[in-house]
Amino acid sequence: MEIKDLPFGTTDWSAVERTQHSGDTGMAFWQTQNFGPMRVRMVEYTPGYLADHWCSKGHILLCLEGELDTELDDGRVFTLKAGQSYQVADGAEAHRSSTKVGAKLFVVD
């Protein structure tokens, strides 16, 4: 990743609007900031959340709280706990998220 034309800045996440997104089950709450072509998000999933789609977008994702299960379209499942992260390229492996207990994430894509 090459980051260009982005001056130093800070983000007060408590002041960023929270939007609601329904999953197949549960809810996701996003706080989103865009910096040129880069999207940065704080995402919270409620307990029992299951994404309503398979995603092929690339991400760098850090689990801040809770536990996140990420299923790949080939059947593999990876579980992240607080302090763990994953990275995947655009179009590399379709994936979808779920959580039994809830999760808070920091995502760059």
- Give residue-wise pLDDT tens across range 16-72: 999 999 999 999 999 999 998 899 999 999 999 999 999 999 999 999 999 999 999
How do the domains of the chain map onto residue ranges? 18-108
**What is the value of pTM for the model shown?**
0.92
Show the tokens assigned to 2: 């090459």
Given a contact cutoff of 8 angstroms between Cβ atoms, the answer to whether 63 and 107 are in contact is no
Which residues lie across from 31 on neighbouring strands?
18, 42
Show the tokens assigned to 106: 């920091």
- Candidate CATH numbers 3.40.1170.60, 2.60.120.10, 2.170.150.70, 1.10.3720.10; the one for domain 18-108: 2.60.120.10
